[in-house]
Amino acid sequence: MGGFDAGRLDRIAGWMQSYVDQRRLAGCAALIVQGGQEVCYHQAYHRDVESRRPWERDTVARIYSMTKPVTSLALMTLVEEGLFHLDAPVSDFIPAFSDMTCLVPGATAADQVEPCAPPTLHQLLTHTSGLSYAFNPGVLGGLMGEHKVEFRPNQSGLAPMCDMLAELPLAFQPGSRWEYSVGIDVIGRVIEVVTGQTLEEVFVERIFDPLGMDETRFSVPAAARDRFAACYTPMAEGALPWARSKRAAIPCA
């Protein structure tokens, strides 16, 4: 097994089963491949608890924020082609970001701002852009929640959402610190602008099709729906540890 300790690999199954037994997960699977050869695989419990359908090798599951590395890879293929560099300001691609402001240190209100440079592509990729998430604490997180700048699949799309985002101040001067953010959602829009394609078209053409990932999409392919794992979410203390979630999810893998 080329560098892997069999005893340590065996621990993975026990760890996964403990999460199921504690009802922290409804079901799960883990696969390790080295040099094109499978080293370890284990699956635990159900992909759908109510129907008791087991988790299997071909189960289709949501990947949520693991879409971020896919988006980052797509951008880097364009960088590799010499179409732009990572120090380019995002305003070169999305003009709405041209005249930016950011909150002053210690700001407690949206009008406590100062001028700042637009974030660069590198800063967007590394969560140092000054952007945030609606669920993050702080003034900007609150503003994003208030204006529903959340980049959800049932919202208006990347272009109008980025324009709405650009109307808000940044949480801090770009490059000055780190905060988990929608920066890579904005990168998705940059990719669309540069290629003239939708983000999914770029993913399929540049990444998924070449890798044979024909069931990784922004919506579940019809042929995979009977293998799609139910999604569960934590409930309030005192209730069941998880319950079926109604939240949409993109893409799946």
CATH number at 125 reads: 3.40.710.10
Tell whether the model's pLDDT for residue 194 goes beyond 50.
yes
pLDDT at 155: 83
Set 65, 91, 129, 156: catalytic member? 65
**CB < 8 Å & 24+ apart, contacts of 18-22:** 19/44, 20/44, 20/45, 22/241
Residues 79 and 54 in one domain: no
Structure confidence at residue 232 (pLDDT): 83
The per-residue pLDDT of the chain, averaged, comes to: 91
Q: Are residues 102 and 178 in the same domain?
A: yes
- Report how many domains make up the chain: 2
Q: Identify the three-state secondary structure at position 155.
A: coil
**Half-sphere exposure of residue 62, counting CA atoms within 13 Å on the CB side?**
14
22 and 123 assigned to the same domain: no
**Distance in angstroms (rounded) separating the CA atoms of residues 208 and 71:** 12
- The answer on 182 and 74 residing in a single domain is yes
Within a domain: residue 208?
A: no
Q: What is the pTM (predicted TM-score) of this model?
A: 0.88
Range of the domain at 91: 66-202
98 is catalytic: no
Query: Do residues 32 and 122 share a domain?
Result: no
Q: pLDDT confidence of 245, banded at 50, 70, 90?
A: low
